[in-house]
Amino acid sequence: MEQLIPIALFLFVLFLLLGSGVWVGLALLGVAFVGMELFTSRPTGDAMITVIWRSASSWTLTALPLFIWMGEILYRTRLSEDMFRGLSPWMARLPGGLVHTNIVGCTVFAAVSGSSAATLTTVGKMSIPELRKRQYPERMVIGTLAGAATLGLMIPPSLTLIVYGVTINESITKLFFAGILPGLVLALMFMTYVAIYSKVSSNWNPAPEPKMSFFEKVQNSRFLIPVMLLIIVVIGSMYLGFATATEAAAFGVIGALALAAGQGSLNWGTFTESLMGAVRTSAMIALILAGAAFLSLSMGFTGLPRGLADLIASFELSRFELLMVLLVFYIILGCFLDGISSVVLTMAVVEPMIREAGIDLIWFGIFIVVVVEMAQITPPIGFNLFVLQGMTEHQMGFIARAAIPMFLIMVLMVFVLIAFPDLATWLPENIRSRPS
């Protein structure tokens, strides 16, 4: 009962600050400051400075701005056009046709981006006009793009997994490899849905694609070679143990610059735009992480995380019941916060619970990424919905309804992960890797 006062105060100050439009990072710092002042005798300023410096000087965190910069560089290349030209001949004969280019294109770009928004914008700017021209159902075009773009949060290099790993002090490399198989399975589930929908829908009448010989398809596939080489460099160097996540990110930046230069897309303007875009995104995430680190310290002094963990333990929930509670909790939270904010805001409380329940932290990282992926396509704060609204000029309600099947598939993916935990744990347990 005595824990209710700090809980109520933390929540009141947090929602007051967020509701007034304060940046998430500053809101977290504000909540932590109030908690330290009211519930501890430790000098608040000294504690804040120490924690913020420690969180900002983490070597593991160096991978974050590098992967963001790599995605920013690739966003400014002709990569989306090349991917469409390379993928479309192979996708055209599948049930569902060229809509699969949305899913496969997002899967491929996710492997060199790490950002859901960058994946969505890069693939969407080419695929939406092409699929509209071929008269594919608009709702399917929009829905698959919204859902498949979330693969940028799971397939390495994933910004959310980096943030999760830094927050709980787990290996970034192992988390990256944990995301590969679940990411591919989720992409396959999206493609299966498209194939079934194309067979049962009455309004599926796209314009037929011209037939191509096998040699012509292979010839078109040359456009995929640069991005596939980049994926091999980034992921292969980690898999073979040649590079840490941070070193692989540096290789990725060099490769992205080389690819942009080879395409003729690299000039001083695009170089500075990509660099400043990466700086802005990295600074935003670093501020959120700093606020979360200080909030974790503040909550730790109150005993709140352990108190809540003990309270939930007293309910004697099974692992499955605990995961279902967390699933609903994160879905609700995702309606109001982006994925990274959701992760850093809650880990101080959730981590003791999952450790107490004996849940593998690497597996839980993939579980939480699947759940916060849903936040990207749930109103009112779903970021992918806003990006699509800007690209298509559809009403938010239309885009949200188009994304509902993808949301339900992600919920199904949670149960697949619970039923087959080896999907997330087999690769990390069987790779040679250097420390992150």
Confidence at residue 38, expressed as pLDDT on a 0 to 100 scale: 76
CB 37 within 8 A of CB 85: no
Residues 6+ apart with CB under 8 A from 40: 298, 301, 302
Query: How would residue 188 be classed by pLDDT, with cut points 50, 70 and 90?
Result: very high
Residue-wise pLDDT for 118-159, tens only, equals: 778 778 877 888 888 888 888 888 989 888 888 877 888 887
From CA 157, how far away is CA 153, in angstroms rounded? 8
More confident site: 1 or 174: 174
Residues 6+ apart with CB under 8 A from 37: 44
CB 81 within 8 A of CB 70: no
Question: Which pTM does this prediction carry?
Answer: 0.79
CB 324 within 8 A of CB 367: no
Give the closest residue to 425 by CA, choosing from 367, 353, 339, 346. Answer: 367
Going from the C-alpha of 231 to that of each of 40, 112, 242, the distances in angstroms are 49, 6, 15
pLDDT, mean of residues 64-86: 78
Give the closest residue to 80 by CA, choosing from 112, 127, 149. Answer: 127
CB 274 within 8 A of CB 76: yes
Give the closest residue to 140 by CA, choosing from 88, 181, 184, 199. Answer: 199
Asked if the model's pLDDT at residue 366 lies above 90, the reply is yes
Average pLDDT, the chain: 80
Is residue 109 exposed (0-12), middle (13-18) or buried (19+ Cβ within 10 Å)? buried
CB 64 within 8 A of CB 282: yes
Quote the radius of gyration of the chain (alpha carbons, Å): 22
More confident site: 412 or 317: 412
Instruction: For residue 137, report the phi and psi dihedrals to the nearest 5 degrees.
Output: -55, 125
From CA 350, how far away is CA 306, in angstroms rounded? 9
Ramachandran area for residue 303 (φ above 0: left; ψ -120 to 50: alpha; else beta): left
Report which listed range, 13-17, 263-267, 365-369, 394-398, is most confident: 365-369
Is residue 328 exposed (0-12), middle (13-18) or buried (19+ Cβ within 10 Å)? exposed
- Residues written for the chain: 436
Residues above pLDDT 90, as percent of the chain? 10
Residue-wise pLDDT for 291-316, tens only, equals: 777 777 777 676 666 666 666 667 77
Number of H helices, E strands in the chain: 21, 0
Ramachandran area for residue 360 (φ above 0: left; ψ -120 to 50: alpha; else beta): beta
pLDDT, mean of residues 187-213: 84
Residue-wise pLDDT for 238-253, tens only, equals: 777 788 878 888 888 8
Domain ranges of the chain: 4-202+210-429
From CA 128, how far away is CA 276, in angstroms rounded? 27
